[in-house]
A = this chain, B = another copy of it.
Amino acid sequence: MADYELFELGDVRLQRGATIRNAILAYKTYGTLSKNKDNVIVYPTWYSGQHYDNEWLIGSGMALDPARYFVIIPNMLGNGLSSSPSNTPPPYDKSRFPNVTAYDNVKLQHRLVTEKFGIKTVKLVTGWSMGALQTFHWGCLFPDMVERILPFCGSAKCSRHNFVFLEGVKAALTADAAWNNGWYEKPPTKGLRAMARVYAGWGFSQAFYREQLDIKSLGYSSLEDFLVAFWEGFFLPKDANNLLTMLWTWQNGDISDNETFRGDLDKALGAIKAKAIVMPGQTDLYFPPEDSEYEVSKMPNAELRPMPSIWGHFAGGPGLNRTDVEFLDKALKKLLAS
């Protein structure tokens, strides 16, 4: 009774050399594709999120209104629904699942959009966090196809500081002996809980904790309750190898790391023809606005519009704070109307 579809990709040669046999891309669509196929929005998922985790931004009366648009949410490789360590048969299972890049992800999403649906233009690509990374990729890899992009709380390239933050997350998870280099039978729960606690300080801003929004807005009964129920509860059900696969994708995210741009980030940013709003969170600790500012300075048709929020990275998702959702939704509406 899955609520999503599978697109069978056959054997997929990845950017870093491995091949996934019988690769699958799990996706879900919302709304109806118009006769002219001109009402398409692509909305990739974020780190460990699955399609339903994106649904908070879709709805009647919202920018992403299924009555108007055909919204496609492709699940990221490694997220447990598309090809992942947890669902790939041997010999590429578990710890042997290959390194996949955001480039790989977006190339396969492009196949879904074109081969499955015969779509030639995309009205908008948008996404949060790693979804923003994929959004930037769409913009520079398919500049004549993508009309608009709105990446929020993310970047076109993983910054060095962001990389270091993720090193900490990874080190906490893999410090658990039960992880066993990925060959666990039972989940490395101690590592997953440790990873969650490391993430907790990064996900929300200093001001968020100062104002006790974990209690006063989100309704947790104490700080420790927030750490256990929200954070540990978030990571515990997830597969460690999947998490590490997506973490690698994140750390190695770079729109210029491919044959087209050969490491020239400015050139890749400059190749994005789409009308763009780049929306960092004002208090995001791992995607600080300064990085977005640089990106916008190199994009020909982009505007920087930071979210004035103290919700840190979670200003961008998954729909926790109504004010932030409204800010984002309003920008999406204006961008779609332009």
Contacts and interface: CB of A to CB of B under 8 A. Distances in A.
Interface of A: 159-161, 163-165, 167-178, 190-191, 193-202, 204-210, 212, 223, 227, 285-286, 288, 290-291
B198 A161 contact: no
A164 B194 contact: no
Copies of this chain present in the complex amount to 2
Contacts of A194: 168, 171-172, 174-175, 194
Nearest to A214: B160
B200 A160 contact: no
A176 B174 CA distance: 9
Nearest to A172: B172
A209 B167 CA distance: 14
A73 to B, nearest CB: 30
B168 A197 contact: yes
Contacts of A208: 161
A170 B198 CA distance: 9
Contacts of A167: 197, 200-201, 227
A218 to B, nearest CB: 14
A163 B201 CA distance: 9
Contact of A198 (B172, B227, B288, B290): B172
Contacts of A160: 209-210, 212, 223
B171 A197 contact: yes
Contacts of A206: 159, 161, 285-286, 288, 290-291
B210 A290 contact: yes
A205 B164 CA distance: 11
Contact of A210 (B161, B177, B201, B209): B161
B168 A201 contact: yes
Contacts of A175: 172-173, 175-176, 190-191, 193-194
A160 B224 CA distance: 11
Nearest to A173: B175
A210 B162 CA distance: 10
Given A161-B209, A209-B160, A209-B161, A200 B168 contact: yes
A247 to B, nearest CB: 13
A122 B137 CA distance: 61
Contacts of A177: 176-178, 190
Contacts of A171: 172, 193-198
A207 to B, nearest CB: 7
A335 to B, nearest CB: 27
A159 B210 CA distance: 7
B172 A209 contact: no
Given A171-B193, A172-B172, A176-B177, A164 B207 contact: no
Given A161-B206, A198-B198, A201-B202, 7 more contacts: A160-B212, A168-B172, A168-B194, A175-B175, A175-B193, A177-B177, A206-B285
Contacts of A161: 201, 204-206, 208-210
